Structure 1
């Protein structure tokens, strides 16, 4: 996986729990979002006798030739985790287990619509999850006939760089100018920052502006505990291990699996 610090620890726990129950040893490797290191580690694990590989790709989208060539170039079965197998060559047998983040975004918009909001802004950091969340937000706002609202991508954080705060301030300005009083924000830390900016302007959350965070890693610790969409990370890990077992037990006789698990909504004080 690209990173074992944020989001993925529950996935690792889910894998570990299922592996212990099955008497399987798990070896963890991280790539630091380096595609070259990913290719190297795939080859190393394959040569080292791994029975199966669970892979969270370094690239946000895996519909690229390099990724598929790397998977096709090894003998070991591969299960993609929190990534999609869409775009893989039809000759490549690869399974995938991921959260249905589009559904999660729809869940958030539906929740805000039930509370009377006729428009919902969307603030995203550029992550692998972001395109799915954006698609779900678009579907749900159209389904509800909502007013067009700002959709903004925030840059990745850099030490000492204030550009993210500027983007958040601009996003809040644009929402208020358009009469939008609610937003879905991915990930949690961006939602907490938006909350701080809103409070700095004497806006009450949720009375003046409602916020739904996406990921639910730290959302409950905000000054106003944030309602959040929680992807089923533990379950994703367990199901990924089970998909590996099915592939090992049945080989090519097992049909390829593309499993999507639905997130849940944890309602707190911000809505």
Structure 2
């Protein structure tokens, strides 16, 4: 259910992940949008978009114009944050500058620019054993706050949690959560609801008539357990057989990668799986190619949904895909950090943003029995 604006609420912001939040983000990105375009893009009736825009306008977040809507002046929180700008630097540490994180950081940079903040970026590696030196380097560059996506599991995770408990500057985690200190204090964070994304894919395939839906997940991703949880819970809710294809895909450079990819379609055939959720795009493309080499049609014999959506449109057929809101994660995290810098006494926020499922050519009804 979408949020509605309280009266007199220029402090109100729509709940992240709702349609109103997505409409607001679209208007802020484009400055001016026609209502008819918004209705078409979000697949709703014009009257629904008008209600959303009215709620946003009543909160002072957008401004109605003839036939459309424009971005309004920034909120009081944003104005306070922008008062920090110019000379204020914020640092960011991400585990990769090649995959996933460039889009997150583009969103963070866009929001920092909008608020008049300067960004200092530093890269690390996935599953680092100790990222505190990287963080110290950022702090030494005179940053006032940090956006971090650190390792939070294993030995490295314990070191980071210890550091977070005594962090000398405000911190917002991106796609990570942590509870620190003796009272298990929550660190501010912005994360994707990956479990919900997987559940959306299961529900969509089930709506087409699929009764056996499997997953094949990249074991290197920190989001694997969340995606698996969403798949399992949705299958249980819909009373689907989830004892099908639960494959942990190794790293692409590992020796077992090719064998694992070749076995996925074979296992799907053996178990009667007709719908498959694959993380990520590269692996989904390999699954489709393997199926086609076996003489199967996509989606006639096997429907495939990728959990990624970075290059899904380049596949043949184009891949239906769940897309994590990478840019939104970066923007929201920067906004949280700016609000914390402007008001150090505000309550910690933990924001969860929903991904989106885009239906393309690789998914359809299951083969007739």
Report the Cα offset of residue 169 of structure 1.
2.3
Q: Is the contact between residue 152 and residue 176 of structure 2 (CA under 8 Å) also seen in structure 1?
A: no
TM-score (norm 2): 0.69
Give 2:346's match in structure 1, choosing from 250, 254, 262.
254
Q: In 2, are the aligned partners of 1:33 and 1:59 still within 8 Å (CA)? A: no
Match 1:103 to one of 191, 196, 216 = 196
Give the aligned partner of residue 359 of structure 2: 267
1:142 aligned residue: 236
The CA distance in 1 between the partners of 2:273 and 2:127, in whole Å, is 39
Q: CA deviation at 1:93?
A: 5.2
* Equivalent position to 1:46, from 136, 139, 149: 139
Q: State the structure with bigger RCO (CA 8 A, min sep 6), 1 or 2.
A: 1
* RMSD (Å), alpha carbons: 1.8
Shift of residue 58, structure 1, vs aligned partner: 3.4
Q: Any idea what SS the aligned residue of 1:202 has?
A: coil
**Contiguous gaps of at least 5 residues in structure 1:** none
| Secondary structure in 2 matching 1:29 | strand
Contact 2:129 2:155 in 1 (8 A): no
* Conserved? CA contact 1:181–1:209, under 8 Å: yes
C-alpha contact (below 8 Å) 1:62/1:83 kept by paired residues? no
Between 37-46 and 197-206, the greater mean CA deviation after superposition = 37-46
Instruction: Quote the residue 2:173 is aligned against.
Output: 80
Partner of 2:77: none
The 3-state SS of whatever aligns with 2:261 is: helix
Q: Per-residue CA shift, 1:14-72, capped at 9, x if unaligned?
A: 11111111111101100123635521011222233211100011356899421211223
Preserved contact between residue 95 and residue 150 of structure 2 (Cα < 8 Å)? yes
2:224 match: 130
2:299 and 2:153 map into 1 onto residues whose CA distance is: 32
Any gaps of 5 or more consecutive residues in structure 2? 1-93, 364-369
Q: What is the CA distance between 1:115 and its match in structure 2?
A: 0.8
90-99 or 177-186, which deviates more:
90-99
2:301 partner SS: coil
- Structure 1 counterpart of 2:366: none
Match of 2:326 in 1: 233
Q: How far apart are the structure 2 equivalents of 1:237 and 1:228?
A: 21
Q: TM-score, normalised by structure 1?
A: 0.93
